[in-house]
Structures are given as structure tokens and as C-alpha cells.
Structure 1
């Protein structure tokens, strides 16, 4: 009897358990849009405008625009513009404000921005860029992203934004070519050790972003066998962003070099410092049984040897006198004759 309620109940459970898909595609009035974005809903931005136009900065607005674009026909049914593409072929070289040409005095309706996106390795101790450098494994580092794409993570600009949505993907690879998924703060099994996930999908809302948890990264951490979890050598960090599927839009436009727009790569090389003091790792070589006496600074150590043990000499053999020999023979002869009788 209750079977008819099973399907609706499952639908409700799925809606509760799974987050609503986020959308960065709904653009608020006056919000920036980035070259390469596709399938944007710009209905709120252009309102009842039909033709948008661009003039170079400082140009006379009474003159014809350098470029214009019809976004909505006069007889458009519902007036919605929900699949607008900021095509590189049209908008590259035409960044900045676009105006509604059919509405005097030409109000601004869109602001087109060229995406900017770089990644670097940052020394947190000295607040400096160490990308491509070789540093001790104990250096306190993280990755740093500089971008203007944080504007797409602003709720005032993208009205359907969801915090669980992100356009960035970061990956770090160790010298053996393995992806680094975790950040250890100490050796495996140690009481205070924490294992944090590598910040691979950051939600960036600021123009400068530092990777989380990496300031606690201990690259001298060891596993249960005592081996270094993070081998010394060169680590590569790659980053990409794909706001509005812009990577495909650039590819369709024949633009293949996306460094600084949608992709970036950086690296850092770590060397493991000596775990012992120089005095402990530079012991002098001496022969067995030879020791070095402690000497004041500035003097040479003097080798001392164990005291030699005296060796007992053999007593030389001395022959017996002749008369002793004759007497012994006589006594032996008398003893033999007595035994014979």
C-alpha cells in the first residue's frame, strides 16, 4: 500500500544528501565576465538591451563603436540570454566596459576581463618567491596563486554561487613522479603528527591565495619503516582553472598557449640537511688501539698508543757436568743387575 511513496521519498533523500550543483554562470548586473567563458546567463546584466558595443578607452561615444554585437533580437520570445559565450575571437583586445548601444546614453551592461592566473612557490619564513630554486628541506613553504578570477567567486557577481564549487585544480608531484595527496606534520605514528589533505581544489575568493596546511609540512617526516616520506629532489606543482569551460573555448579559437590564463607550473628543489653536527660526521680515521687525546682549541691532537706489555725471554740451555752423567749411568747399571738376580 505504501509502495507509491517509495519513489518520492528516494527523490527527497537524494536532494538532501547531495549538494545542489553550483553555477558560476548566472551573471549579476555590472559583474565582470572573463574571455573564454561559455553558457553564461547574462539576462540580469543586459536587461532589455539588444545590442552591446565597445569603444576604446577615451574614445568619443558619439562616434561609431569599434565593435558591436547583437545579443537579443527585437522579437525575442522571453528575452532571456542564458547561453552567452565570451568568445576569444570577438572579445580578445576588447576588454573593459561594454555598453548598451540601443539605450541612450549608452549604459554599461558588461565588463569583460582577460583572465590572469599564476602559481609560485613561496618561502613563508622570508616572504619571498623561491620558484625554481634549491632550498633546505626544512624551509617553510607553500604555493601562492595570484589571480583576478577571484571575482568569479563573489556572491554579488555570481548569484547562484555555491561554496562547494571550485574552478581550480592544483597537483604536486614528488621527484619519483608520484602525486602528493597528504601533508604530514611529523613522522608516521608520532603522537603529535597530523595528516592533512593537500589543498588540491581551493575555493579562491581573494586575489592572492596561499595553499592551506603547507606551512605545517614536515619534509623530514618518516614512515613506519624509518624511510623519508618526502624524498629530496625537485617537486613540481601544476595548477589549472576552467571557469565556464574556457579551456575548450580557447582551443576552439586556436589558442594553445594558456600559461598565465588557465594553467601554470612551478617547482622547487629540496635537499636534506645533515642530521648530525659537522663534528659528528667528520670523525678522524685512526688505527685500532690508537686514540686521540683531547687538546685545547688551536692545537693539534696528539696520538697516544697503549703501553707495550713486556715479553718474557726464554732461558738458554746449559749442559750438565761430565761426572754427573757418569754417576747416573753407574747407578742405573747397578739397579738393572739387582733386578736380574
Structure 2
């Protein structure tokens, strides 16, 4: 029983981890397709039409078409409409609406477009393109994608589309050519630090797309050793797309210079953070020493004061001469004798 649960868990994990097969190839009537797409299923788009045609002036379609293409032959297997290629050799120079030529009233079967895409380094704070520029390391940047290929991810254009059918890939490399997969919001080990996944496989459904999570990218984050996780220098965003094996189609057709169709890149240079210079200190030779008069300290002043009050001394007098004493005695005797008489 335990083995059964283990097997079931393994199957679930396998299904989750297996990449989903892209099914962007089922095309609705009148939906846009792009030069270079391969193996499209246009059965729903073409209906019972057999020949599609292109007119340079859609306001005047009374005359013969400039070019046409038979996509479904009578009494033949319809492999062509279920494995249709928008070949560069056939459709270059013939972009726009392709109509059903053999049915009246005419209707649009496909809208053929040249793929267009570009990527820029975008200053989020100032809402401007900084591709190819040098900016302070504190500048908040993200990538910006502009493309018409977003239409291939519209559920109204591709009838069996799923959220796993994205075909855009973006890589971010540092000055050493190392690919960046995670975005740190602060330094390693900090309590508030979050590790966010770099938005490398965006599902783009709008003409303009800004990379997610990039506002929280802290360019001054440091690793456990104190070194910068994102050293100053040139950082490059590279965008590629491979809608229905378009890259193979251009390669086999010998088309060079697919930049702007299947790939695009943009770079920015982060300048080193400013170095704080300490205030200059005076050299010993420049110090003028002034003479200082020694002053007793508070402790010295207190220690020189007397610690006990002065003791009073007895006053003594020198004795009188003897002759003065004799005279005094005689005077005293005379006074006594008078008093008796």
C-alpha cells in the first residue's frame, strides 16, 4: 500500500515538472499569424475555402489578386491546412489580410504580420529609457518589452491556448557574463531580505510589458562575505522568442539579421557607489605648540590647604624690675599705717 502512494506521488511530481507542450498553433478565423511560424492548424480559420489571396489595395478588390495560394485541394488529404507554414519565402512583402478567393462574399482567413520586438532598460523612477547609458547604482530599473507578438497569446486568436504556452525568454547577465536568476531585496542574512525569482519567462499579452519584481532589486545587496552580489559594471538584458519554431524557419530560409524579430538586447552600466572620504587630519609638523603656564589643578589646590584649624597659644609677660616692686611695697605699708591711725 505504501509503495502505491509513493508511485502516485512520483507520477504527480512528474506531471508537474514536465514542460507543457505549446499549443499556440490552432488559429481562429481572421487571427494574426506571423511570418516564420511553422506547423499551424488553420482548419478553423479557412472553413471550406481552398484558395487564399492578397490584394495590395483592400479598397479595390474587383481586379485579380496580386498573389494567391492554394491551401486545400479537392479530393486530397488536408495535411497542408493542419501543418501550415507562414514561410518567409512566400509571405515576405505580402503582409496584411489574406482573403478567401474562391468563396463569395470574401472573408479574411488570416492576417499575416512581420514579428516585431524590442527590449529596453527602463528607469522606473523617471519612466524613461536608459539603454546604453551609465546610471547611479541606486537607480531602480527593470526591462521593458515592446512587441506585436502579444497577439499570439490572446485566447480569441489561438483557440486552445493555455497559460503555459508562453514563448518569450529573457536573460539578465552581470558584468562577468554570469546569468542572474534571483533578485535580492537586501543583503544575505538580513531579517527583511527576500529572494525573488527573476521574471525570465513572461507571459506577454499587451503591447508593452515591464518585468516583474524588479522594483525590489537592491543593487547594493551583499553576500555572506560582505562582497557585492551585483558588482558595478554593465548588465545586459537579452530577449528571445521562438513562436512555433520561428527561429528554425528564419535559419532554414537563410534570413540574416533577425534582430528585432526573434531577438533583442539592451544594456546599462551601474556606476560604483560613491566613496565617502574621511575628513583630513592635521599632520604633526603643521601643529603650532603654544607655551602653557602651569596652573595648579583642583586636586593640587585642595591638597595645599591646611587640614586642621590653628591652636591658640597662652600669652606670657616678662617680670617687672625689682626696684619697682620695693617701691610698690613701701607705698602699700604707708597706706596701711595711715588707715590704723
CA spacing shift, 1:99–1:226, aligned 2, 3 Å: same
Preserved CA contact (<8 Å) 1:37 1:85? yes
Residue 177 (structure 1) shift: 1.5
- CA offset digits 1:273-292 (Å, max 9, x no partner): 2253xxxx1522422486xx
Preserved CA contact (<8 Å) 1:22 1:160? no
What's the secondary structure of 2:196's corresponding residue?
strand
For 1:215, the equivalent position in structure 2 comes to: 215
- Rg larger in structure: 2
* Unmatched segments (≥5 aa) in structure 2: 295-341
For 1:249, the equivalent position in structure 2 comes to: 249
For 1:148, the equivalent position in structure 2 comes to: 148
Residue 107 (structure 1) shift: 1.4
For 1:42, the equivalent position in structure 2 comes to: 42
Paired with 1:111 and 1:132, the residues of 2 have a C-alpha distance of: 35
Paired with 1:52 and 1:114, the residues of 2 have a C-alpha distance of: 18
CA spacing shift, 1:288–1:101, aligned 2, 3 Å: same
CA spacing shift, 1:12–1:283, aligned 2, 3 Å: closer
TM-score normalised according to structure 1 size = 0.78
Preserved CA contact (<8 Å) 1:185 1:218? yes
For 1:313, the equivalent position in structure 2 comes to: none
For 2:96, the equivalent position in structure 1 comes to: 96
Paired with 1:233 and 1:44, the residues of 2 have a C-alpha distance of: 51
Preserved CA contact (<8 Å) 1:289 1:305? no
What's the secondary structure of 1:81's corresponding residue?
helix
What's the secondary structure of 1:45's corresponding residue?
helix
CA spacing shift, 1:306–1:37, aligned 2, 3 Å: farther
Q: What aligned pairs does 1:14-29 form with structure 2 within 5 A after superposition?
A: 17=16, 18=18, 20-29=20-29
* Unmatched segments (≥5 aa) in structure 1: 291-302, 311-341
TM-score normalised according to structure 2 size = 0.78
- CA offset digits 1:238-286 (Å, max 9, x no partner): 110000111111111111101111100110000122253xxxx152242
What's the secondary structure of 2:231's corresponding residue?
coil
CA spacing shift, 1:158–1:167, aligned 2, 3 Å: same
For 2:118, the equivalent position in structure 1 comes to: 118
CA spacing shift, 1:129–1:306, aligned 2, 3 Å: farther
- CA offset digits 1:151-198 (Å, max 9, x no partner): 011111111111122111111111112111111110001111111111
CA spacing shift, 1:26–1:272, aligned 2, 3 Å: same
Residue 137 (structure 1) shift: 0.6
For 1:135, the equivalent position in structure 2 comes to: 135
Match of residue 284, structure 1, among 280, 287, 292: 280
CA spacing shift, 1:22–1:164, aligned 2, 3 Å: same
Preserved CA contact (<8 Å) 1:122 1:128? yes
Paired with 1:142 and 1:226, the residues of 2 have a C-alpha distance of: 25
Preserved CA contact (<8 Å) 1:27 1:42? yes
1:70 aligns with 2:66: no
